[in-house]
Structure 1
Amino acid sequence: MNAMPQDITPTAAAPLAARGLTHCYEGGNVLCGVDLALEPGSVLGLIGRNGAGKSTLIRAMLGLLQPLSGEARVFGEPALRLSDDAKARLAYVPQQPEALAWLTAQQMLDYVGRFYPRWDAAFAHKTLERWKIQPNKLLAKLSPGERQRVDLIRALASQPELLVLDEPAAALDPVARRELLREVALRAGESGTTVLFSTHIVSDLERVASEIAFLHEGRLLLHCGVDETKERYARLWLPAKTSAAAPAQALGRRRHEDGSLSLVVERDARGQWPEAARLPGARIDALGLEDLFVEIAE
Structure 2
Amino acid sequence: MNAQLRDFHADTSPLAVHGLAHGYEGSNVLTGVDLALAPGSVLGLIGRNGAGKSTLIRAMLGLLRPLAGEARVFGEPAHALPDAAKARLAYVPQQPEALAWLSAAQMLDYVGRFYPRWDEAFARNTLARWSIPANKLLAKLSPGERQRVDLIRALASQPDLLLLDEPAAALDPVARRELLREVALRAGEAGTTVLFSTHIVSDLERVASEVAFLHRGRLLIHCGVDETKEHYARLWLPARLSAAAPAQALSRRRHEDGSVSLVVERDASGHWPEAAHLPGARLDALGLEDLFVEIAE
Same fold (TM over 0.5): yes
Hey, what does 2:202 align to over in structure 1? 203
In 2: Cα distance, 1:205 partner to 1:145 partner: 19
* Alignment deviations for residues 77-96 of structure 1 (CA, whole Å, 9 cap, x no partner): 00000000000000000000
Match status 1:295 vs 2:291: no
In the TM superposition, what whole-angstrom CA distance separates every residue of 1:199-253 from its partner, at most 9, and x where no partner exists?
A: 0000011100000000000000010000000001000000001111111000001
- 1:113 counterpart residue number: 112
Q: CA deviation at 1:269?
A: 1.8
Tell me the residue number matched to 1:186: 185
RMSD: 0.7
Take 1:244 and 1:58, find their aligned partners in 2: how far apart are those partners? 40
1:42 equivalent in alignment to 2:41: yes
The answer to whether residue 166 in structure 2 is matched with residue 167 in structure 1 is yes
Structure 1 counterpart of 2:62, which letter? G
Find the aligned partners of 1:200 and 1:10 in 2 and give their Cα distance: 27
Measure the CA separation in 1 of the matches of 2:186 and 2:270.
Answer: 34
Q: TM-score, normalised by structure 1?
A: 0.97
How far did 1:10 drift?
Answer: 3.8
CA contact (8 A) 1:237 1:282 kept: yes
Deviation at 1:9, TM superposition (A): 2.1
Are 1:28 and 2:27 counterparts? Answer: yes
**CA deviation after TM superposition for structure 1 residue 11, in Å:** 2.7
Whole-angstrom CA distance in 2 between matches of 1:66 and 1:278 = 47
Deviations 1:172-195 (A, max 9, x none): 010000000011111111110000
CA–CA distance in structure 2, aligned partners of residues 104 and 26 of structure 1: 38
Aligned residues: 291
Mark the runs of 5 or more structure 2 residues left unpaired by the alignment: 1-6
Does the 8 Å contact 1:233/1:287 carry over to 2? Answer: yes
Partner of 1:220: 219
Whole-angstrom CA distance in 1 between matches of 2:295 and 2:45: 14
Give the 5 Å matches for 1:1-298: 9-298=8-297
Q: Percent of counterpart pairs with the same letter?
A: 85
1:228 aligned counterpart, secondary structure: helix
Please list every run of at least 4 consecutive aligned residues from structure 1 whose deviation after the TM superposition is greater than 3 angstroms.
none
Instruction: State the SS of the aligned residue for 1:269.
Output: coil
The Cα of 1:272 is off from its aligned counterpart by: 1.1
- The residue number in structure 1 matching 2:3 is none
Q: CA deviation at 1:278?
A: 1.1
Counterpart of 1:163, as a letter, is L
What letter corresponds to residue 102 of structure 1 in structure 2? W
Residue 49 of structure 2 aligns to a residue in which SS?
coil
2:212–2:223 Cα contact (<8 Å) kept: yes
CA offset digits 1:153-177 (Å, max 9, x no partner) = 0000000000000000000010000
1: distance between equivalents of 2:116 and 2:160? 12
TM-score by length of 2: 0.97
1:271 positional shift: 1.4
TM superposition shift of 1:270: 1.9
> 1-side partners of 2:31 and 2:20: how far apart?
7
User: In the alignment, is the contact (CA less than 8 A) between 1:10 and 1:35 conserved in 2?
Assistant: no
Contact 1:10–1:19 (CA<8 Å) still a contact in 2? no
Give the Cα separation in 2 of the matches to 1:251 and 1:86. 37
Determine the C-alpha separation between the residues in 2 that align with 1:66 and 1:15: 19
The secondary structure found in structure 1 opposite 2:284 is: strand
**Is residue 251–residue 263 contact of structure 1 (8 Å, CA) maintained in 2?**
yes
Shift of 1:121: 0.3
Contact 1:46 1:215 in 2 (8 A): yes
